[in-house]
Structures are given as structure tokens and as C-alpha cells.
């Protein structure tokens, strides 16, 4: 299946922040971080529904996260992720003159995850970073 | 009363008891602050070298050895440390001819530079409470990042000149790409911008202020915004990362907007610094070197440039000390990987991806809870605080002093 091209903006969320203060390694932090908020029609075009796992991928990396249906007005092609180790797997290092990474301008492809896939675990992310 | 170091509002009216592993009798803590106070009881670090528990003296000695033998070390973090610790940190960087950078480097730095140099007018949050009739959160969502901002300063309180407050005298606006939690509070005044569209949005406002029809965006909405800005008696703009990341190298256009608004009325700007003492580090480093971040002391003199940013320096340095920060979680994969491959020292009260990757882990007291000191609120007001829990752990300042002595 051809994936959905999106532009991802990362934002802060107080509930995810609180979970991270308890533990970066907890199930609570993972469940509140490893999500992507998609426009409702975009979600439908993927044949997916709220809570389904999706693979988000670009030249920088890839993660499997849970899809969340947006409650905002229609915003096709615009996706939201919370700033976290999951979103940072996708943030391009290509920077502007000010050397600021593209945290709010991540181009990526979203598609339904394979049946056996699970949400990317923090231990997997750590292994990738450690190389 | 305790001071919360959970964000850069540094709320000083906190009542809480922390004992026996429990937080109780809590008053005035927001959800974020609650998480911060409770973090005293979870995922605490212990001294480690290469994954093995050691005593504190050994960890400090090993950290000193790594830094002493490095040719170009990077000292990064600082925004969650007190001014006292930052002061020792800058001296350590000078002694080592090291590169020093903080989180403002990929956060509010490019705006903070203009605030501290005076090219953009600013004020205190107390001024906002007393005088502001218009507050604009631009690419910022304080309901998530600074939860008590609206209730203490910018919207709900009855200030000296704003006794009728949000019911009659204050207007809160949001400029954002989405309906954020804060935007739901002031729905009628949500002005949407497309991602990366802030510069064009500002140009459209400038056109409206000149009485022209804007070429871009929802014309009716833009004209409404122009009218609200002109009518404001005393306005405050709070830029968040949404605006910073959108404008990046084009901050001059925002400077132009503020200058134009101040020809018409009064508008002040306070950057929504995230960590509790980011501004403190920026002010202190500026006082000592003339630069707010991204400084190298190589060759004995301070130099400044993008090559000294953590993102660039992670690839060129040969060792790194990270204090009170988790760049392996918060920075792009490529930077995180570069840092993880270095001889890495982490000074942190709590476990993180960065402490897990570090060859040396040094546990520290949590500033504000277990260690006292001084910090600078997001608006430049200095706040002094005392610890509220007795802990045997050393403060950042003591750890850094001991490392410096051992080098």
C-alpha cells in the first residue's frame, strides 16, 4: 500500500510530560508518547481507526506508534506527535543557519503497521542510539 | 512555602510534604509540578562507572580523568541547574578550554539573545498581571508547558489596573497551527498559521496595521486581529517554540512587528523558556563572555558560533559532560547517537536514556527539592529557594567543584 505523506509538527503535552517525570521507561510514558495524531479523513484513507498501529518512516528513521484521531478542524496532511524519543527518531538533522533541528517540520510517510508489529519499545530506541 | 522548579515560572507558593516516599498536603502544585515533586521518589540514579555501581568519590575521580584527558570536551545541559552550579560550570569550561552550550541552543536562544540585548522590549510577569489587557500566546501552549501562567499572571488574576480581569478587561489570544489546549480557552481568538508560515503571517499583520488588505490568509480574520492589536492598551506576547522554529533565521521580521506595534501602543515580549533556569544560564554566560550560549573556550578566549551548538559539537568533541538534561531523549537521533558514542559523563538526579548510555553517572540532589540556590524566572526575576527535603546527595554545584578540584 502506498503510504500517506504527512508533515509532522511536534508539540508538548502535560499528561505525557508528567508520565516522563515518573519514568522514561514506563508503559505509561510509552503509551502517551508513542502516538501520532492524524486528521480524521487521513486516518480513514489509511483504512485505519483510532488506536491502530501505524508505521511512520522517513530518511532519518522509523517508528511504530498508535494512531489517534484528531478532534481539531480538518488538517489533511498535517500530523502531530509529542516531543519524545519516538518523534526524535524522525527529526532530520538538516538544520537552518541557526543550527536548530527540524522538530516541527518532519516529512514522513505513514502506513498501517503489519499485523504482528508492536509499538517501538524504548529499549529498541536505546539500542539504535547506542548502535 | 516551597518553590517549584518544574518549569520557568518558578512558583513560590507551593505547600507540600514529602516524606516516607509520599507526597502529601499539597497546595498550588499544577499537574506538571506534581509530577516534578513526585519524581523525587522514582528512578533515582546511583554512582556508576561502565554500568557498575561505585561510590561517589570514584565516579567523580573518573569524570575528572575523562575531562582531563579530552582535547575538546563539550559541557552541555545547565538549564536545570542553579545559577551557583552554572557559575562553577562556566569556570570548568574555561579551565578545560571546553565548549559549553545549553538547551536554549535549540530552543529559545535566538529570541532570548534579542531580549537580553534590548532589541526587543520586555517586562516582568508581575507587570503583565498588573497592566496587560491583551496576552498573546504565539506557538505556545501554556496549559501544557507552563500550566499556571494564565492563572497567576496573564489572564485570570485581578491586577492593579485590571481589576475586572478576564471577565471584562483581558483578552487572551493564541496563534498556532492547531487547536491547542490553551486555544480551547480563547477559541474566538485562535489565529491559525500553517506550519512554517509565521513570517508571512507577520507580514500580513504589518500590512493590516498600515491599513492595507493582507494578501495572504483569512482576510477578515487578519483585519480583526489588526484591530485588536491597535486597540490594546498594554499588550504582552509570549512566543513559544512554535514561533521560534517557524521563524528560525528570520527573527528580524518579529522584531519589526514589535517595533511597529510599539509605535501604536505598548507591547512587551517574554519568551516562554521551558526549563527552570535556562534564562539564568543565558544571562550568566552573557555577563562573562558576551554570548548567551554556544561558546568555546578553546585557545583560552571565548568564541561563539553554530559550530559550538550541541547539535554540531556532539560530532566534533571527544568527550561530553551532560548535566540535568536528557539529550538522548530530546535531540534528533543523529545527535543522540553521536553523544552516545563519546566518553559520556551524566550528572542527574534521575535515570534517563542519557544516564543509561553514560560511562560515568553521578547522582545529584534535585534543585528546589533537595538543594537550594538561585534561579532566574522566564521574565528575568531572580528567585532564591531553600531545599524542602533533607538528602545526602550533593548539589550540582558541589559535584562540579569537586570535579574541578580533581582536574
What's the whole-number average pLDDT of chain A? Answer: 94
Contact A100, B310 (CB under 8 A): no
Domain with CATH 3.40.228.10 in chain B: 109-269
What's the whole-number average pLDDT of chain B? Answer: 96
Mean pLDDT of the region B258-280: 98
- A1 pLDDT tier (thresholds 50, 70, 90): low
Give the B window 87-126 contacts with A, CB below 8 Å: 105-106, 110
CB distance A92–B332 less than 8 Å?
yes
- In tens, the pLDDT along B370-390 reads 999 999 999 999 999 999 998
Q: What pLDDT score does A99 carry?
A: 77
Residue B19 exposed, middle or buried by CB count within 10 Å (0-12, 13-18, 19+): exposed
Q: Which of A22, A97, A105 sits opposite B35 (nearest CB)?
A: A22
Q: How far is B319 from chain A (nearest CA, A)?
A: 15
Per-residue three-class SS string for chain B: CECCCCCCCCCCCEEEEEECCEEEEEECCCHHHHHHHHHHHCCECCCEECCEECCHHHHHHHHHHHHHHCCCEEEEECCCCCHHHHHHHHHHHHHHCCEEEEHHHHCCHHHHHHHHHCCCCCCCHHHHHHHCCEEEEECCCHHHHCCCHHHHHHCCCCECCECCHHHHHCEEEEEECCCCHHHHHCHHHEEECCCCCHHHHHHHHHHHHCCCCCCCCCHHHHHHHHHHHHHCCEEEEEECHHHHHHHHHHHHHHHHHHHHHHHHCEEEECCCCCCCCHHHHHHHHHHHHCCCCCEECHHHCCEECHHHCHHHHHHHCCEEEEECCCHHHHCCHHHHHHHHCCCEEEECCECCHHHHHCCEEECCCCECCCECEEEECCCCCEEEECCCCCCCCCCHHHHHHHHHHHC
Q: How far apart are CA B175 and CA B8, in angstroms?
A: 21
Instruction: Find all residues with CB under 8 Å of B242, minimum gap 6, and list them.
Output: A9, A11, A104, B138, B139, B140, B175, B176, B177, B198
Interface check for A98 against chain B (CB to CB < 8 A): the answer is yes
Domains of chain A listed by start with CATH number: 4-130 (2.40.40.20)
Domain B45-105+276-406 adopts which CATH fold?
Answer: Rossmann fold (3.40.50)
Give the B window 388-407 contacts with A, CB below 8 Å: none
Interface check for A56 against chain B (CB to CB < 8 A): the answer is no
Kindly report the CATH class assigned to B109-269: alpha beta
Q: What pLDDT score does A95 carry?
A: 64
Q: How far is CA B257 from the centre of its chain?
A: 24
Q: Which of A21, A92, A99 sits opposite B39 (nearest CB)?
A: A21
- In tens, the pLDDT along B87-118 reads 999 999 999 999 999 999 999 999 999 999 99
Q: What pLDDT score does A94 carry?
A: 65
Q: Which residues of B touch A17 (CB under 8 A)?
A: 32, 35, 144
| Dihedral of alpha carbons B234, B270, B180, B222, sign | positive
Q: What pLDDT score does B18 carry?
A: 85
- In tens, the pLDDT along B168-220 reads 999 999 999 999 999 999 878 999 999 999 999 999 999 999 999 887 778 89
ipTM for the predicted complex: 0.96
CB distance B334–A93 less than 8 Å?
yes
CB distance B110–A83 less than 8 Å?
no
Interface check for B337 against chain A (CB to CB < 8 A): the answer is yes
Q: How far is B293 from chain A (nearest CA, A)?
A: 12
Q: Which residues of B touch A24 (CB under 8 A)?
A: 43, 326, 329, 351-353
Residue of chain A with shortest Cα separation from B353: A126
CB distance B196–A105 less than 8 Å?
yes
Residues facing residue B159 across a β-bridge: B162
CB distance A103–B35 less than 8 Å?
no
Coil, strand or helix at A111: strand
Q: What pLDDT score does A102 carry?
A: 86
Position A2 pLDDT exceeds 80: no
Interface check for B247 against chain A (CB to CB < 8 A): the answer is no
The residue count of chain A comes to 131
Domain with CATH 3.40.50.740 in chain B: 45-105+276-406
Q: What pLDDT score does A111 carry?
A: 97
Amino acid at each position: 500500500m502506498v503510504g500517506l505523506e504527512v508533515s509532522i509538527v511536534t508539540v508538548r503535552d502535560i499528561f505525557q510530560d508528567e508520565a516522563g517525570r515518573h519514568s522514561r521507561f514506563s508503559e505509561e510514558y510509552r503509551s502517551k508518547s508513542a502516538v501520532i495524531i492524524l486528521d480524521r479523513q487521513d486516518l480513514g484513507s489509511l483504512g485505519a481507526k483510532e488506536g491502530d498501529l501505524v508505521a511512520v518512516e522517513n530518511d532519518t528513521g522509523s517508528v511504530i506508534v498508535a494512531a489517534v484521531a484528531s478532534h481539531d478542524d480538518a488538517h489533511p496532511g498535517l500530523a502531530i506527535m509529542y516531543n519524545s524519543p519516538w518523534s526524535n527518531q524522525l527529526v532530520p538533522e538538516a538544520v537552518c543557519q541557526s543550527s536548530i533541528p527540524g522538530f516541527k517540520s518532519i516529512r514522513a510517510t505513514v502506513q498501517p503497521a503489519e499485523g504482528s508489529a508492536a509499538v517501538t519499545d524504548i529499549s529498541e530506541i536505546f539500542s539504535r542510539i547506542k548502535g | 512555602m516551597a518553590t517549584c522548579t518544574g518549569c520557568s515560572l518558578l512558583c513560590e507558593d507551593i505547600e507540600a510534604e514529602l516524606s516516607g516516599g509520599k507526597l502529601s498536603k499539597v497546595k498550588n502544585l499544577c499537574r506538571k509540578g506534581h509530577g516534578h515533586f513526585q519524581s523525587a521518589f522514582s528512578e533515582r540514579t546511583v554512582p556508576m562507572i561502565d554500568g557498575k555501581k561505585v561510590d561517589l568519590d570514584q565516579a567523580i575521580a573518573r569524570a575528572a580523568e575523562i575531562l582531563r584527558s579530552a582535547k575538546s570536551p563539550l559541557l552541555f545541559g545547565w538549564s536545570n541547574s542553579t545559577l551557583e552550579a552554572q557559575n562553577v560550570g562556566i569556570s570548568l569550561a574555561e579551565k578545560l578550554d571546553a565548549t559549553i552550550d545549553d538547551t536554549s541552543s535549540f530552543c529559545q536562544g535566538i529570541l532570548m539573545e534579542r531580549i537580553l540585548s534590548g532589541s526587543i522590549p520586555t517586562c516582568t510577569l508581575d507587570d503583565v498581571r498588573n497592566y496587560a489587557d491583551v496576552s498573546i500566546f504565539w506557538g505556545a501552549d501554556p496549559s501544557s508547558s507552563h500550566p499556571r501562567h494564565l492563572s497567576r499572571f496573564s489572564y485570570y488574576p485581578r491586577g492593579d489596573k485590571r481589576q475586572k480581569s478576564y471577565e471584562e478587561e483581558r483578552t487572551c489570544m493564541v496563534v498556532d497551527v492547531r487547536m491547542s489546549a490553551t486555544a480551547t480557552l480563547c477559541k474566538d481568538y485562535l489565529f491559525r498559521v500553517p506550519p512554517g508560515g509565521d513570517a508571512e503571517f507577520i507580514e500580513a499583520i504589518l500590512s493590516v496595521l498600515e491599513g492595507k488588505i493582507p494578501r495572504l490568509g483569512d482576510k477578515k480574520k487578519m483585519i480583526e486581529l489588526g484591530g485588536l492589536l491597535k486597540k490594546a492598551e498594554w499588550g504582552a506576547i509570549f512566543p513559544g517554540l512554535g514561533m521560534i522554529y517557524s521563524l528560525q533565521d528570520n527573527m528580524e521580521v518579529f522584531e519589526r512587528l514589535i517595533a511597529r506595534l510599539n509605535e501604536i501602543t505598548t507591547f512587551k515580549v517574554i519568551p516562554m523558556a521551558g526549563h527552570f533556569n535556562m534564562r539564568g544560564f543565558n544571562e550568566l554566560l552573557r555577563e562573562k563572555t558576551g554570548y548567551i550560549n554556544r561558546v568555546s573556550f578553546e585557545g583560552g578566549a571565548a568564541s561563539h558560533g553554530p559550530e559550538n551548538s550541541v547539535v554540531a559539537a556532539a560530532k566534533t568533541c571527544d568527550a561530553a559532560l551532560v548535566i540535568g538534561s536528557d539529550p538522548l531523549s530530546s535531540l534528533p537521533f543523529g545527535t543522540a547517537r553521536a553523544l552516545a558514542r563519546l566518553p559520556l559523563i551524566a550528572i542527574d538526579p534521575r535515570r534517563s536514556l542519557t544516564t543509561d548510555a553514560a560511562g560515568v553517572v553521578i547522582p545529584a540532589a534535585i534543585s528546589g527539592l533537595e538543594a537550594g540556590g538561585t534561579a532566574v524566572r522566564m521574565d528575568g526575576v531572580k528567585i532564591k529557594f531553600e531545599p524542602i527535603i533533607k538528602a545526602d546527595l550533593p548539589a550540582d554545584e558541589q559535584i562540579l567543584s569537586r570535579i574541578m578540584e580533581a582536574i
